[in-house]
Amino acid sequence: MNWFENGGALSLIVFLPLAAALVMLVIPKAREEAIKQLALLVSVVTFALSLVVAFAFELGSSASYQFEISAPWISAIGSNYHIGVDGISLPLLVLSTFVLVLSIIYSWNHWEEPRNPKAFLALMLILATGMNGTFVALDLVLFFIFFEVVLLPMYFMIGIWGDKSMRKIPGFAREIPTRLYASLKFFLFTLFGSAFMLLGFLAIYFRAGDVAQRTFDIPELATLGAAGAFSPAAWSIGGLVFGALFLGFAVKVPMWPFHTWLPDAHTAAPTVGSVLLAAILLKLGSYGFVRIALPILPESARDWAPAIAILSVIGIIYGSLACLAQTDMKRLIAFSSVGHMGFVMLGISTLTDVGINAAIIGMVAHGLITGLLFFLAGSMHHRYHTREMSRLGGNQTLMPKMGGILGFTAMASLGLPGLAGFWGEFMALLGAFNPLEGLNVSLFRTAMVIGAIGTVLTAGYLLWMLQKVNFGEPSEEWVGHEFHDVDRFEMAAWVPLMILIVIIGVYPKLVLGSTTDAVVAMVDTAFNSGPTAALTVFGG
């Protein structure tokens, strides 16, 4: 199985969905079952492959890249087809293939108008190629390509299957369909960020040395970065370059104040689109920080860390307060992502192993939990034909199973100890208590306190949502309606998520066991600091 370990496995995980999407194009539209089965089969195969990779992964050397391959690609600029996984990207890769399977299962009997499963599934598979590719790419150009590949499918998903309602946009005379506004906003915001990200990549490339030494290779650049090649002291535009990367990643995360595309896109997207957006697409941004921005530009990261921390806590508080102002359940969940990703970014901004581990487990947990919340919001909208929380009251009586799962997920989302959401928030705050040496301790401790207030607000709005949606008496308008409680496809998609939320909640080592060594090594080389004592508490 030599080819398998030398890039074969990862290449399959990345390109199998794309190949399936192409095959799908030649299957006639009428053969819907065949199309769905093909999509499911391919997603299960990629998930199985990612599990094989995870089990064959040598945890002992999780800091180094495994299943790696590097082959020449664009010779003129020395860009290579370089892919591989380490302990940081492995959990995210598995998450990505896992959520894809569940999304396809959920899609089985949930089609939003104008249906067309063929096109929808083909887009979903292309999206999968972009997502998986981003997590394994070890070359900046390759990373950029995969990072961008996700845009088109998501744009079409939101634009075609998205929210049909009309909406008045300030500054426009006519009402326009929400889906059009949301899809274009998503596309333009992300492209704006990534255009500058690309400029940053190019600046790094040219700074790497003479013509022969220039490279887009992420591990090589990280080595150079640790040696100080890109430090602002030696390179006047170093801080600016970090700013360019920051723009690209922060829009994607999204960090306050670049978040405004998120509530629109998430709310307008079809259910599966929202799930994939929340569970995977947002992680591309935070992953970019951990994989590229921090290790390659460590000195600039130090300079920028306080700003990132401040924006993160603003995001946490702003996201929570915005949630409290929502009347639309899906929009509330969308805003909750701003808050949760704020914790992820706060963890990253501490530049410590605890904080970055917190960020990764936070990403995984947020992917599972918020993905599930969006599934639930979609299914409830499917049944009630409304997302107004004031009309949804008494859901628990009308649909006990649905209500139960919603309650469970809301508890996970507010960070209840014992469920997955707890670790990300807790460790991020812990990291902020003791940021990297040289950073402004009082600033980070203030951020920690504000973040802790944020957790209270988070609990507040989620309980408030539960109270409005689940509890109380059903509204008069539902009298005489028969509601079909959770069906088997929904169960098949949701139960695995719930199980994982519990497992990670009680056994965080499932994620941390893979990430810790890699993160410690990364922080160690980039910032020259040994592992923090606190980390051992979590089994690191």
Partner 1 sequence: MNYDIDYLALAPEIVVIITLLGVLALDLVLPRRLKYFTGAIAVVGLTLSAIPLILLAVGDLPVSMFDGSYVVDQFALVLKGLFLVSGYVVLVMSVSYIESDRYYQGEYYFLILSSILGSLVMASARDLIAIFIGLELTTAPLFLLAGWKKGDLKSNEAALKYFVLGVLSTAILLWGMSMLYGATGSIQFAEISAAVSSLRSGDPMMPLVVLAVVFVMVGFGFKVAAVPFHFWAPDTYEGSPIPVTAYLSVGSKAAGFVGMFVFVYLAVPSLSSVWGPLIWVMAALSMTVANLAALRQTNIVRLLAYSSIAQAGFMLVPFAAASLAGEGALAAGLEATVVYLVIYALMNLGAFAVVIVAVQRTGSAEIDSWAGLGRLDGRLAVLASVFFFSLAGIPPLAGWYAKFKMFTATIAAGGTWAYVLAAVAAVNAVIALAYYAKVAKAMWFDDPPEGAEEITEAPSGSLVLVLTIAAVVTVVVGVLPNIPDFFGEATRTLLATVGG
Show the site string, 359-388: x = touches partner 1 by CB under 8 A, - = not: ------------------------------
Q: Which of 141, 272, 338, 521 forms a contact with partner 1 (CB under 8 A)?
A: 141
Minimum distance from residue 291 beta carbon to partner 1 (Å): 18
Binding of residue 180 to partner 1 (CB under 8 A): yes
Closer of 108 and 192 to partner 1 (Cβ): 192
Minimum distance from residue 5 beta carbon to partner 1 (Å): 25
Binding of residue 23 to partner 1 (CB under 8 A): no
Closer of 201 and 444 to partner 1 (Cβ): 201
The answer to whether the beta carbons of residues 361 and 483 sit under 8 Å apart is: no
Provide the strand spans (E) within 171-286.
175-177
Distance CA 318, CA 415 (A): 18
Token pair 């064959």 is found at 56
Distance CA 392, CA 328 (A): 10
Binding of residue 199 to partner 1 (CB under 8 A): yes
Q: Find all residues with CB under 8 Å of 518, minimum gap 6, and list them.
A: 62, 63, 86, 87, 88
Lookup: tokens for 536 = 């051992």
Q: Which of 183, 267, 395, 532 forms a contact with partner 1 (CB under 8 A)?
A: 183
Give the interface segment with partner 1, choosing from 75-83, 87-95, 222-230, 350-358 (CB under 8 A): 75-83
Give the interface segment with partner 1, choosing from 180-188, 326-334, 337-345, 504-512 (CB under 8 A): 180-188
Q: Which of 34, 188, 234, 495 forms a contact with partner 1 (CB under 8 A)?
A: 188
Minimum distance from residue 391 beta carbon to partner 1 (Å): 28
Q: Which of 100, 104, 138, 160 forms a contact with partner 1 (CB under 8 A)?
A: 160
The answer to whether the beta carbons of residues 93 and 46 sit under 8 Å apart is: no
Alpha helices in 27-70 (DSSP H): 32-56
Token pair 């400029």 is found at 199
Structural element, H or E, at residue 100: helix 89-107
DSSP string of 335-357, one letter each residue: HHHHHHHHHHHHHHHTTSHHHHH
Minimum distance from residue 198 beta carbon to partner 1 (Å): 6
Structural element, H or E, at residue 73: strand 66-74
Minimum distance from residue 265 beta carbon to partner 1 (Å): 14
Minimum distance from residue 192 beta carbon to partner 1 (Å): 5
> Binders of partner 1 among 234-293, rule CB under 8 A?
237
Give the interface segment with partner 1, choosing from 38-46, 193-201, 338-346, 494-502 (CB under 8 A): 193-201
3-class DSSP state for residue 107? helix
Lookup: tokens for 79 = 């860009």
Size of the site for partner 1 (CB under 8 A): 35
Please give the angle made by the CA atoms of 410, 492 and 408, to the nearest 5 degrees.
15
Reference 284, options 312, 248, 315; nearest CA is 248
Q: Which of 40, 44, 149, 449 forms a contact with partner 1 (CB under 8 A)?
A: 149
Token pair 């800091």 is found at 63
Q: Which of 40, 63, 151, 314 forms a contact with partner 1 (CB under 8 A)?
A: 151
Residue type, 330: K
Distance CA 175, CA 78 (A): 49
Lookup: tokens for 251 = 């829009």
Q: Which of 173, 206, 385, 479 forms a contact with partner 1 (CB under 8 A)?
A: 206
Distance CA 344, CA 249 (A): 13
Q: Which of 19, 74, 456, 506 forms a contact with partner 1 (CB under 8 A)?
A: 74
Which residues form the interface with partner 1 (CB under 8 A)? 73-77, 114, 141, 144-145, 148-149, 151-152, 155-156, 159-160, 177, 179-180, 183-184, 187-188, 191-192, 195-196, 198-199, 202-203, 205-206, 237
